[in-house]
Amino acid sequence: MKLDVDVLRYLSKEDFRVLTAVEMGMRNHEIVPSELVDRIASLKHGGTYKVLKNLLKHKLVHHDSSKYDGFRLTYLGYDFLAIKTMVNRGVFASVGRQIGVGKESDIFEVASEDGTILAMKLHRLGRVSFRAVKSKRDYLKHRRSYNWLYLSRLAALKEFSFMKALEEHGFPVPNALDCNRHCVIMSLVPGYPLVQVKELQNPEMVFERIIGLVVCLAEHGLIHCDFNEFNIMIDDDENVAMIDFPQMVSVSHRNAQMYFDRDVECIYKFFGKRFNLSFEEQADHSDSAEEDAEDSSRPCFSSINKTAGFLDKELAASGFTRKDQADMDKFIEEGSDEDAVSGDEEDASDSTEAIVRDTDALHLSEQPEQIQEGDGADKDETRQRVAASRHESEAQDGSEERGECEEDACDAELVKRLNKQRRRAIAAAHGGRKALASRNSYKDKGGRSSHNSKIQKQLSGW
């Protein structure tokens, strides 16, 4: 996916304010009604509609009028919110080239103020189909519907928490530096993914080290679950590091044995093929071999002493912290209500109050830190000497592309409509006349409440 951060420099406080309003609205709506965006952003004189046009032009939001007139964030819009927050926090100051693309993430180099190069991983869970995600990812649990913002944020948070815990226990992993929304900032691992390495001076030793890591993880209560040549980095001195943690599970997971054996098998297979290592069991190990009781060298899940540490317990078993898990459970329970909301536009929980409550509960926007008044934000804007390399990455997910085509097609019509809405809002603001609802308009019952002013406070920094 293209990440043209140059645009960031030209975005105003109002742009970010409206973008944040769309994000907040998405807590309860897949498509956020224009009127609701306007109400949350609360810009004077119908300013929201003008800003929405600009955000649309830069593909930071997507317009949808199939049910009612509304908007949703695009991944790019979400990227910008996360990047802006990180830059405001002083984590990094510029974004560089893309160094990795997975089916569920994009990885970029970023540079801090003092020139240190770091890695930024942007999770993109909506890229694969929900069914595939749900079957693989235990953090979705019983949730029936999903929201890619939420899923990607959760994946990032899980990865960040696991990376930090592993680092603290001496595992060779990147240094986890910060996390916001779907974005994780970590140290740049020197070297290359093992898959790119054709020759090793000491393949046996590297192999032992890597298998040792799988065992050591299990001793600490964890299984990587995607432990393969793509997620192992190796440097010129043949030091190894592991990356990519959102799918890790506890050794008490019901499929733990299978995941463990699969991780081990991946390494055996790769080293057998790439570096011609031969293993005792290969004679009686055909492709379908699962367990081999006679193979004394291959690590066996059941005989591993899993008492070196209880990282899985510390991380609340295949979750992250207890609090995150609790927040998430709450969200999952509310998920069923949310399903109803998207089908029933008149549900009471559409109110602004509900958005504030839910947003607060989930910390979707970390207002106190990310929204700094006045000079902080201004200073940061000038600090954004963002030198982007324009990367055409792999294809985005189909729906996004489809969305963008539709976007182009109805652009002119939309601009007309936005102008109309803007005029109406201006008229309403001036004359005290109620804004007329458009044909597709969304009926929102939430009034301007005290909660509303809370949002205004939260938004005031953009």
Query: With CB under 5 A as the contact rule, which of the stretches 126-134, 211-219, 242-250, 373-381 interacts with Mg ion?
Result: 242-250
Which residue number is nearest to ligand ADP in terms of Cβ?
102
Rounded least distance, CB 286 to ligand ADP, Å: 29
The only residue of 244, 350, 397, 400 in contact with Mg ion, by rule CB under 5 A: 244
Torsion, Cα 394 397 403 405, to 10 degrees, reads: 40
Rounded least distance, CB 227 to ligand ADP, Å: 11
Rounded least distance, CB 138 to ligand ADP, Å: 16
Q: Which of 138, 226, 244, 358 is catalytic?
A: 226
Rounded least distance, CB 136 to ligand ADP, Å: 12
Which residue number is nearest to Mg ion in terms of Cβ?
244
The only residue of 42, 231, 247, 370 in contact with Mg ion, by rule CB under 5 A: 231
Full 3-state SS string of the chain:
CCCCCHHHHHCCHHHHHHHHHHHHHCCCCCCEEHHHHHHHHCCHHHHHHHHHHHHHHCCCEEEECCCCCEEEECHHHHHHHHHHHHHHHCCCCEEEEEEEEECCEEEEEEECCCCCEEEEEEECHHHCCHHHHHHHCHHHCCCCCCCHHHHHHHHHHHHHHHHHHHHHCCCCCCCEEEEECCEEEEECCCCEEHHHCCCCCCHHHHHHHHHHHHHHHHHCCEECCCCCCCCEEECCCCCEEECCCCCCEECCCCCHHHHHHHHHHHHHHHHHHHCCCCCHHHHCCCCCCCCCCCCCCCCCHHHCCCCCCCHHHHCCCCCCCHHHHHHHHHHHHHHHHHHHHHHCCCCHHHCHHHHHHHHHHHCCCCHHHHCCCCHHHHHHHHHCCCCCCCCCCCCCCHHHHHHHHHHHHCHHHHHHHHHHHHHHHHHHHHHCCCCCCCCCCCCCCCCCCHHHHHHHHHHCCC
Instruction: Measure CA 96 to chain center.
Output: 19
> Toward ligand ADP, which CB reaches closer, 193 or 272?
193
Query: With CB under 5 A as the contact rule, which of the stretches 42-50, 227-235, 257-265, 409-417 interacts with Mg ion?
Result: 227-235
> Toward ligand ADP, which CB reaches closer, 84 or 182?
182
Largest Cα separation within the chain, whole Å, is 86
Query: With CB under 5 A as the contact rule, which of the stretches 240-248, 264-272, 308-316, 373-381 interacts with Mg ion?
Result: 240-248
105 touches, from Mg ion, ligand ADP, none (C-beta below 5 to 8 Å by class): ligand ADP
For residues 122 and 129, give the distance between their C-alpha atoms in angstroms, rounded to a whole number: 18
> Toward ligand ADP, which CB reaches closer, 23 or 226?
226
Rounded least distance, CB 234 to Mg ion, Å: 14
> Toward ligand ADP, which CB reaches closer, 175 or 460?
175
> Toward ligand ADP, which CB reaches closer, 104 or 400?
104
R_g over Cα of the chain: 24
For residue 159, state whether it binds Mg ion (rule: CB under 5 A). Answer: no
> Toward ligand ADP, which CB reaches closer, 175 or 325?
175
263 has catalytic annotation: no
Residues that bind ligand ADP (CB under 6 A): 99-100, 102, 104-105, 107, 119, 121, 174, 186, 188-189, 193, 230-231, 243-244
> Toward ligand ADP, which CB reaches closer, 119 or 183?
119
272 touches, from ligand ADP, Mg ion, none (C-beta below 5 to 8 Å by class): none
Rounded least distance, CB 227 to Mg ion, Å: 10
119 touches, from Mg ion, ligand ADP, none (C-beta below 5 to 8 Å by class): ligand ADP
Rounded least distance, CB 100 to ligand ADP, Å: 2
Residues 84-113 that bind Mg ion (CB under 5 A): 102
Residues in touch with Mg ion (CB under 5 A):
102, 230-231, 244
Catalytically active residues, by annotation: 226
